[in-house]
């Protein structure tokens, strides 16, 4: 087989990859990667700026497309009206795969397991005290249900409220 034949094959493969992968990437962004299209997701790179401008805490959802526990959490997260309502008081970051702030060691609070939800204040400082209080084990940033996420979100907001009253 000639060099031209291989070059043609490579071009075809690249075109196929672009035409099939690009719509999937767009779909995932529009649907929040399965975690809900109704949420006002922002990227990690813009989260700190938005949080400072709006004086809101940040909630970072770290997950991977191949993760079974992440897949189980998606419909619970996406279908929770209470979580959606509370999310309006947060800067929401949906950090999937390579979008995760992996270069920031402050996110490796208790390991690199997924999914994890980590809260930051409006200055962008990680608030490690906000964990899933229903998990006394070493996976304290793992939330298997929307109700547990809501509890932590309410704790974050209560903490912010009490600091503003001082």
pLDDT tens digits, 75-118: 999 999 999 999 999 999 998 876 666 556 666 677 778 899 99
Give the pLDDT confidence score for residue 135 in this predicted structure.
86
The answer to whether residues 132 and 59 touch, using CB atoms and an 8 Å cutoff, is no
108 compared with 130, residue with greater pLDDT: 130
What is residue 96's three-state secondary structure?
strand
103 secondary structure, DSSP code: T
Residue 31: count of CB within 10 angstroms of its CB: 14
Q: What are the tens digits of pLDDT across the range 18-38?
A: 655 444 444 444 446 888 899
Q: What are the tens digits of pLDDT across the range 2-18?
A: 888 878 887 877 766 66
- Nearest residue to 115 (alpha-carbon basis) of 34, 43, 45: 34
Region for residue 116 given its phi and psi (left: phi exceeds 0; alpha: psi -120 to 50; beta: otherwise): beta
pLDDT above 70: percentage of residues in the chain: 80
């Amino acid at each position: 087989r000639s060099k031209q034949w291989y070059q043609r094959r490579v071009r075809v493969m690249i075109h196929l990859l672009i035409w099939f992968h690009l719509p999937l990437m767009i779909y995932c962004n529009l649907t929040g990667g399965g975690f809900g299209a109704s949420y006002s997701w922002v990227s990690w790179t813009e989260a700190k700026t938005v949080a400072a401008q709006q004086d809101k805490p940040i909630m970072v959802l770290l997950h991977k497309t191949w993760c079974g526990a992440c897949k189980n959490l998606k419909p619970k997260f996406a279908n929770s009206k209470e979580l959606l309502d509370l999310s309006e008081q947060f800067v929401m970051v949906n950090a999937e795969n390579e979008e995760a702030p992996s270069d920031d060691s402050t996110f490796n609070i208790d390991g690199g397991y997924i999914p994890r939800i980590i809260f930051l204040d409006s200055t962008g400082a990680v608030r490690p005290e906000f964990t899933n209080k229903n998990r006394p084990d070493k996976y304290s940033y793992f939330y298997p249900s929307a109700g547990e996420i809501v509890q932590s979100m309410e704790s974050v907001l209560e903490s912010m409220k009490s600091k503003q009253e001082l």
